[in-house]
Amino acid sequence: MYHIYQTEGLVVGRAQRGEQDVVVSILTKDPSLGLVRARATSAATVASRLRYALEPLTEGRYAFVRGKHQWRLVGAAAFRWSAPAVVRSGNDAAIAAFLQFLREVIPSEGAIPEGVVSVVEQLVAEAARCPQLSLARVRERTAAVLHLLGYLPAASAGDQASLLRGLWAAGVSHTLYCWYAGTVPAIQQRRARRACPEAALSHSGA
Of 81, 98, 119, the residue that ends a domain is: 81
User: Which helix (H) or strand (E) is 66 found in, with range?
Assistant: strand 58-66
Q: Do 90 and 151 belong together in one domain?
A: yes
Residue pair 140/162 in contact (Cβ under 8 Å)? The answer is no
Q: Do 97 and 175 belong together in one domain?
A: yes
Q: Do 12 and 51 belong together in one domain?
A: yes
Q: Label residue 196 by pLDDT band (50, 70, 90).
A: very low
Distance, CA of 87 to CA of 201 (rounded, Å): 7
pLDDT given for residue 47 in this prediction: 66
> Domain of 133?
83-197
Q: Do 75 and 106 belong together in one domain?
A: no
Q: What is the pTM of this model?
A: 0.86
pLDDT given for residue 3 in this prediction: 87
Q: Do 21 and 118 belong together in one domain?
A: no
With residues binned 3-state (H G I as helix, E B as strand, rest as coil), the percentages for the chain, rounded to 5, are 40, 25, 35
Mean pLDDT check: name the lowest of 38-47, 58-67, 140-149. 38-47
Q: Is the pLDDT of residue 197 over 50?
A: no
CATH number of the domain where residue 57 is located: 2.40.50.140
Q: Is the pLDDT of residue 199 over 60?
A: no
Q: Do 101 and 157 belong together in one domain?
A: yes
Of 28, 54, 81, the residue that ends a domain is: 81
Residue-wise pLDDT tens digits, 147-188: 999 999 876 656 888 999 999 999 999 999 999 998 765 444
The answer to whether position 104 is within a domain reads: yes
Q: Label residue 103 by pLDDT band (50, 70, 90).
A: very high
pLDDT given for residue 185 in this prediction: 52
pLDDT given for residue 129 in this prediction: 95
Residue pair 138/146 in contact (Cβ under 8 Å)? The answer is no
Q: Do 89 and 189 belong together in one domain?
A: yes
The answer to whether position 165 is within a domain reads: yes
Q: Label residue 195 by pLDDT band (50, 70, 90).
A: very low
**Position 4, amino acid:** I
The torsion of the CA quartet 14, 182, 34, 60, rounded to 10 degrees, works out to -50
Residue-wise pLDDT tens digits, 5-59: 899 999 999 988 778 888 999 999 998 889 999 988 877 777 678 878 899 999 9
Q: Do 145 and 174 belong together in one domain?
A: yes
What mean pLDDT is reported for the chain? 84
Domains identified in the chain, total number? 2
